[in-house]
């Protein structure tokens, strides 16, 4: 086995500009941790796009190997929980932000961040899901817990052709929900209908500032966008409905009123994947095996190499990536 391996490394120049370059590293370059993983695949999330392009303050230590997700095989472990040969998945825990992440053929990590690769998934499929798909599942679980069942009415997914949105559309439709998909890209309508969306709603329509309350259209929603669009979703959510909010692709503000909450009993529940406790992670990964059709993942995922990441990062920040980018670190 070669002593060196490839990693994408981020550094900052004197002007504070982020530089991304593929470098050869050795095990001695890797951070401390109790498990060394041979990475098979990582993935590209919106947050990774912000880190690589330097367009968001994501990176908290320099230099950094980014990549908030990884899936691979344990090479060495001093943890009692993992032994060489175990297949593992890692998402979140500030990996790829504060700690070195998945854009590397090897990475040393903390065992408490890992979950065993669920039976029924391989590492490529796990990374087609990645943080984005895992978050979609957490959003769906949140809606279920709030009593949003398929008989209650249509569930809306915003930013639908992005990573979180695409997987949410596919899961909800497999579970029997009637799904409406909001997208700013009319050309993605056929793709979204293939994933199971029954209705296509234009982003332009949903981005109109709402009145305090609008006509009741949605039993629930998965929102990846925030801002005015989320305000409209809340104003259009039916009595007793729930909106699971996980993203800010359209902005971090929320220009709403209390009316949907106090007159329609609407709830707005936040969803975080980064610090999600391990038992809920294991539950969500298990659900992803059962509730996300494998043909949908084939539609959603496409593969990029480490070298292609800077270009793909620009695209995800410009809202031009459809579905999920799987990163083959060994290509
Ligand atoms: P993607 O870039 O893959 O998807 C985002 C989608 O949002 C785009 O594809 C686009 O969909 C839509 N969009 C982009 N810009 C705008 C805009 N200005 N106004 C309205 N819609 C817009 O990102 P991800 O799916 O990976 O992540 C989505 C969001 O969720 C991000 O904000 C991300 O940070 C957040 N997130 C949060 C997590 C958590 O733990 N809370 C975990 C993972 C992601 P379309 O073209 O179809 O309209």
DSSP β-ladder status, 4-12 and 18-26: antiparallel
**To which residue do tokens 């961040």 refer?**
113
Ligand 1 binding pocket mutation candidate from 50, 159, 161 (most atoms within 8 A of CB): 159
Query: Average pLDDT, stretch 281-285?
Result: 96
Write the pLDDT tens digit of every residue in 244-253. 999 999 999 9
Would you place residue 298 in the very low, low, confident or very high pLDDT band (cuts 50, 70, 90)?
confident
Q: How far, in Å, from the CA of 225 to the mean position of ligand 1?
A: 6
Q: Ligand 1 centroid vs 250 CA: distance in angstroms? A: 8
- The token pair at 40 is 């098979």
Q: How remote is the CA of residue 159 from the centroid of ligand 1, in Å?
A: 6
The position carrying tokens 């793709």 is: 191
Rounded to whole angstroms, how far apart are CA atoms 200 and 82? 45
Q: Which of 181, 227, 68, 207 is nearest to 135 (CA)?
A: 68
**Does the C-beta of 45 come closer than 6 Å to ligand 1?**
yes
- Nearest Cα neighbor of 197 from 73, 300, 62 is 300
Share of the chain above pLDDT 70, in %: 100
Rounded to the nearest integer, the mean pLDDT of the chain is: 97
With a 6 A CB cut-off, is 322 part of the ligand 1 pocket? Answer: no
pLDDT range class, residue 90, cuts 50, 70, 90: very high
- CA-322 nearest atom, ligand 1: 9
Instruction: Check residue 166 and give its pLDDT.
Output: 96
Q: Model confidence over 28-74: pLDDT tens digits?
A: 999 999 999 999 999 999 999 999 999 989 999 999 999 999 999 99
Instruction: Give the pLDDT confidence of 175-233 residue by residue, as tens digits.
Output: 999 999 999 999 999 999 999 999 999 999 999 999 999 999 999 999 999 999 999 99
Phi-psi label, residue 160: left if phi above 0, alpha if psi -120 to 50, beta otherwise: alpha
Judged by DSSP in three states, 161 sits in coil
- The residue nearest atom 23 of ligand 1, judged by CA position, is 46
Question: What is the atom index within ligand 1 of the atom nearest the CA of 316?
Answer: 2
Q: What is the mean pLDDT of residues 136-142?
A: 98
Q: How far is 34 from 204, CA to CA, in rounded Å?
A: 49
Q: Report residue 1's pLDDT band, with 50, 70 and 90 as the boundaries.
A: low
Average pLDDT for 94-106? 98
Per-residue confidence (pLDDT) for residue 295, from 0 to 100: 87
> What percent of the chain has a predicted confidence (pLDDT) above 90?
96
Count of beta carbons in the 10 Å neighbourhood of residue 261 = 14
Token look-up 């294991």 returns: 282
DSSP state of 276: -
């Amino acid at each position: 086995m070669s002593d060196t391996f490839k990693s994408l490394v981020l550094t900052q120049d004197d002007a504070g500009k982020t530089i991304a370059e593929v470098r050869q590293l050795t095990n001695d370059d890797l951070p401390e941790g109790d498990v060394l993983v041979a990475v098979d695949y990582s993935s590209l999330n919106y947050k990774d796009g912000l880190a690589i392009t330097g367009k968001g303050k994501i990176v908290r230590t320099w230099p950094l190997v980014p990549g908030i997700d990884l899936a691979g095989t344990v090479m060495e472990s001093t943890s009692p929980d993992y032994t060489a040969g175990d297949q593992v998945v890692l998402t979140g825990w500030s990996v790829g932000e504060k700690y070195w992440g998945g854009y590397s053929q090897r990475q040393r990590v903390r065992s408490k961040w890992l979950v065993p690769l669920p039976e029924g998934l391989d590492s490529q499929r796990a990374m087609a899901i990645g943080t984005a798909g895992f978050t979609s599942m957490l959003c769906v679980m949140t809606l279920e817990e709030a009593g949003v069942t398929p008989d209650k009415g249509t569930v809306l997914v915003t930013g639908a052709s992005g990573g979180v949105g695409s997987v949410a559309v596919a899961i909800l439709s497999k579970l029997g929900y009637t799904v409406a998909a909001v997208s700013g890209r009319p050309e993605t309508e056929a793709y979204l209908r293939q994933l199971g969306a029954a209705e296509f709603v234009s982003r332009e329509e949903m981005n109109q500032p709402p009145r305090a309350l609008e006509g009741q259209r949605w039993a629930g929603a998965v929102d990846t966008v925030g801002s005015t669009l989320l305000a409209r979703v809340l104003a259009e959510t039916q009595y007793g409905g729930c909106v699971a909010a996980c993203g800010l692709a359209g902005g971090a503000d929320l220009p709403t009123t209390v009316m949907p909450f106090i007159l329609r009993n609407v709830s707005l529940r936040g969803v975080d994947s980064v610090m999600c406790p391990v038992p809920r992670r294991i539950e969500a990964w298990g659900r992803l095996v059962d509730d996300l059709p494998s043909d949908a993942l084939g539609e959603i995922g496409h593969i990029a190499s480490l070298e292609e990441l800077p270009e793909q990062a620009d695209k995800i920040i410009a809202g031009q990536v459809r579905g999920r980018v799987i990163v083959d670190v060994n290509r």
